[in-house]
Structure 1
Amino acid sequence: MREIKFRVRNFETNKFEDLSNIIITIDGTGLEIYKNDGMVIDNYEINQYTNINDINGIELYEGDIVKCRECNITCKIIFSEGAMYMLEWNDNKWGNNEKHYYGLRAFTLEKVGDIYNNSDLLF
């Protein structure tokens, strides 16, 4: 069975929240995230766990930046097509900045950062 896990990026603090200290509620009006002290987190982004770990055993989430060992490229993990985790990178080799997409399980991956703290690794 697939493990369903999330991480929450708090843009007010520029950190990932410790999930043991937050409450996520979903109702007919949407989703709200609270800290255990009742404080609402208004500016956030949720990343889902891919159910894949990198070569060092680190859990990979959407928004992570990984290095592909087989092709020596750096790319980001995105959620696409409703349920498929993909690697996305820009190919500037021919000057066309074309985006490429591949499934995560096709490569050996090593996490090198995330899009919040290390977006410079993608360019």
Structure 2
Amino acid sequence: MREIKFRAWDKTNKRSIDLKNSAIDPLSGEIIGAHDPDEFYLFDSCDYDLMQYTSLKDKNGKEIYEGDIVNGAGEYCVEKKPVIWSRSGWYAGYEDKEKTNITSLCALDDIEVIGNIYENPEYINNQ
């Protein structure tokens, strides 16, 4: 079974928070709170964006989360693409109504996390 964990982006303080022991609403199944080693966070507002762990690690052993920006090689070259969930798995790329340009993370070799969409938007704004 894969490990399920989350990281949150604190929009107010502009920082990433590694979350442990998430509190889940039993009726909706939504995460309503969690804590890191120093503080408990309630997600009752729009002040946080949650990012799920993909259960994959990059070539340096760094955990890959939704919203991370990755580079990778393989059958398809991926350069500075965000990690997203799409239909049935984790991908690097973009998906919207006009176009789909995604590559499965599992199809990549030597994948490396180089940042995330919150702290490094310049990587993806030029795409």
TM bucket (normalised to shorter chain) is: 0.7 to 0.9
C-alpha deviations, 1:40-91, integer Å up to 9, x for none? 342111111111100111000010000113426221100110x41011159x
Instruction: Provide the residue aligned with 1:25 in structure 2.
Output: 24
For structure 1, the 5+ residue unaligned runs are 91-96
**Identity score, percent:** 29
Provide the rounded CA distance (Å) in 2 between the counterparts of 1:89 and 1:115: 12
Normalised TM-score (structure 2): 0.74
Instruction: Provide the residue aligned with 1:86 in structure 2.
Output: 91
- Among candidates 93, 111, 114, match of residue 112 of structure 1: 114
Larger Rg: 1
For structure 2, the 5+ residue unaligned runs are none
1:1-123 pair list within 5 angstroms: 1-20=1-20, 23-28=22-27, 30-33=30-33, 40-41=42-43, 42=45, 43-70=47-74, 71=77, 73-81=79-87, 83-89=88-94, 98-108=99-109, 109-122=111-124, 123=126
Normalised TM-score (structure 1): 0.76
| Corresponding residue pairs, total | 115
Say if 2:9 and 2:17, in contact at 8 Å, map to a contact too: yes
Report the RMSD for the aligned CA atoms in angstroms: 2.6
